[in-house]
Amino acid sequence: MPRPLCATIHLDSMQHNLARARTCALDAKAWAVVKANAYGHGLERGMRGFAQADGLALIETENALSLRELGWTKPILLLEGIFDASDVPLLAEHNINSTVHSIEQIKMLEYTQLYRPIDVHLKMNTGMNRLGFRPDDYKAAYKRLRAIPGVRNITLMTHFANADELEHPRLSIAEQVQRFCAGSTGLEGERSLSNSAGVLHQAVLQAELHNDWVRPGIMLYGGTPGGGRTAHDFGLRPTMTLASEIIAIQDLVAGDTVGYGSRFEAPGPMQVGVVACGYADGYPRHAPHGTPVIVDGVRTTVVGRVSMDMMTVDLSPIRNARVGSKVTLWGDGLPIDEVASASGTIGYELMCALAPRVRVEEG
């Protein structure tokens, strides 16, 4: 008998969310970001769910090659630009566009014999201080890259640090856009700035964010990028439902404690349900008492510590709970962002942390 824990991936919701991104950024082409195993949904499923995207963006060259083997013919972008000289012919042969963010990479391209042209994204560091050339150095980097005969299209790119908070006191979107424009004026090439938060705020910041390509990730998976608005507010649908069942019920009396660390103490007689899902499945171990779950269609909460394979939930609000009662951990009817926020993390992390041992179905 299989363990009752299952993640259901909703491909129709992935399509819906991509369509939402397109209506927000009408004039832009869309890279659907499928890094981290399509945010835990599976790379191949990401490819099918986002078949209407203009391109797919991810991290590893090997996964880019897998996409080609799976039949993806549209553009592919490597977001981190991790490649060495031996990868360059592969990138060229399979038409994989890579981010270029350092002088070492430009030198390497200068010394590599390019038999076929390659397309690149040249990244500007407008304040995130992870990857890219500072605005003052950007034009020089562009010119060196432009002088390499095998380099074909150069897309100008940056990444927002605080797109979820338009008026961030330390670094606003407007400031990053202004640095990007200053560093790239006069340079030829398409432009790409916005992640999900940028896409969703396009309506507010229209003029500055309108550009040739957008790069939505989390919104395509029905998660909010933050900023105090929920995925539902943005018209997004959940794409992953994690569900299990009650596998045992315990009748407690006042003073009984539950689980490792005996962290929860029953205030009076009550029942707790033991659910087949634990931190080895990707459920956050630090989810505190009060984190929402749904049992038989009714909201209740986690009690006690989440253990490796099991967790315990309060059955007080549930009438006729039984072994076999359905439990939704997140997804349909229970936004992953609510579970994440109760656990002090973000929906991104929960999706990506889904463990390989969890059965995955489509539906």
The whole-angstrom separation of Cα 68 and Cα 62 is 10
Rank residues 127 and 216 by Cβ distance to ligand PLP and give the closer one: 216
Q: How far is the CB of 226 from ligand PLP (least distance, A)?
A: 9
Q: Is 20 in the site for ligand PLP (CB under 6 A)?
A: no
Q: Is 217 in the site for ligand PLP (CB under 6 A)?
A: yes
Rank residues 162 and 328 by Cβ distance to ligand PLP and give the closer one: 162
Structural tokens at position 276: 């087949």
Q: Is 218 in the site for ligand PLP (CB under 6 A)?
A: yes
Contact residues for 32 (Cβ-Cβ < 8 A; gap 6+): 18, 46, 50, 53, 55, 56, 57, 216, 217, 220
Rank residues 121 and 305 by Cβ distance to ligand PLP and give the closer one: 121
Binding piece for ligand PLP, criterion CB under 6 A, among 18-26, 174-182, 210-218, 258-266: 210-218
Rank residues 31 and 283 by Cβ distance to ligand PLP and give the closer one: 31
Contact residues for 109 (Cβ-Cβ < 8 A; gap 6+): 88, 100, 145, 148, 150, 151
Which of 107, 115, 143, 260 is labelled catalytic?
260
How many chain residues touch ligand PLP (CB under 6 A)?
11
- From residue 44 to residue 83, the character string flagging contacts with ligand PLP as x (rule: CB under 6 A) and all else as - is -----------------------------------x----
Helices within 117-220 (DSSP H only): 135-146, 173-184, 196-200, 202-209
Cα dist from 158 to 7, 64, 107, 211, whole Å: 34, 21, 21, 12
- What is the three-class DSSP state of 312? strand
Contact residues for 176 (Cβ-Cβ < 8 A; gap 6+): 126, 127, 128, 158, 160, 161
Instruction: Give yes or no: 143 in active site.
Output: no
Q: How far is the CB of 291 from ligand PLP (least distance, A)?
A: 23
Residues 322, 328, 334, 340, CA torsion sign: positive
Binding piece for ligand PLP, criterion CB under 6 A, among 12-20, 173-181, 191-199, 283-291: 191-199
Instruction: Give yes or no: 260 in active site.
Output: yes
Binds ligand PLP by CB under 6 A, chosen from 20, 215, 237, 305? 215
Binds ligand PLP by CB under 6 A, chosen from 18, 25, 33, 295? 33
Which of 29, 35, 142, 221 is labelled catalytic?
35
Contact residues for 140 (Cβ-Cβ < 8 A; gap 6+): none
- From residue 144 to residue 183, the character string flagging contacts with ligand PLP as x (rule: CB under 6 A) and all else as - is ---------------x------------------------
N- to C-terminal Cα separation, the chain: 21
Helices and strands (H and E) in the chain: how many = 12, 18
Closest-CB residue for ligand PLP? 217
- What is the three-class DSSP state of 207? helix
Rank residues 21 and 272 by Cβ distance to ligand PLP and give the closer one: 21
Q: How far is the CB of 101 from ligand PLP (least distance, A)?
A: 10
Rank residues 127 and 225 by Cβ distance to ligand PLP and give the closer one: 225
Q: Is 42 in the site for ligand PLP (CB under 6 A)?
A: no
The whole-angstrom separation of Cα 247 and Cα 45 is 30
Beta bridge partners of 258: 264
For 6, the enclosing helix (H) or strand (E) is strand 6-9
Binds ligand PLP by CB under 6 A, chosen from 135, 183, 216, 304? 216
Structural tokens at position 238: 């959940």
Find, among 316, 305, 306, the residue nearest to 269 by Cα. Answer: 316
Binds ligand PLP by CB under 6 A, chosen from 195, 202, 224, 343? 195
Rank residues 135 and 217 by Cβ distance to ligand PLP and give the closer one: 217
Q: How far is the CB of 241 from ligand PLP (least distance, A)?
A: 20
Catalytically active residues are 35, 260
Q: For binding to ligand PLP (CB under 6 A), which residues are involved?
A: 33, 79, 159, 195-197, 215-218, 225
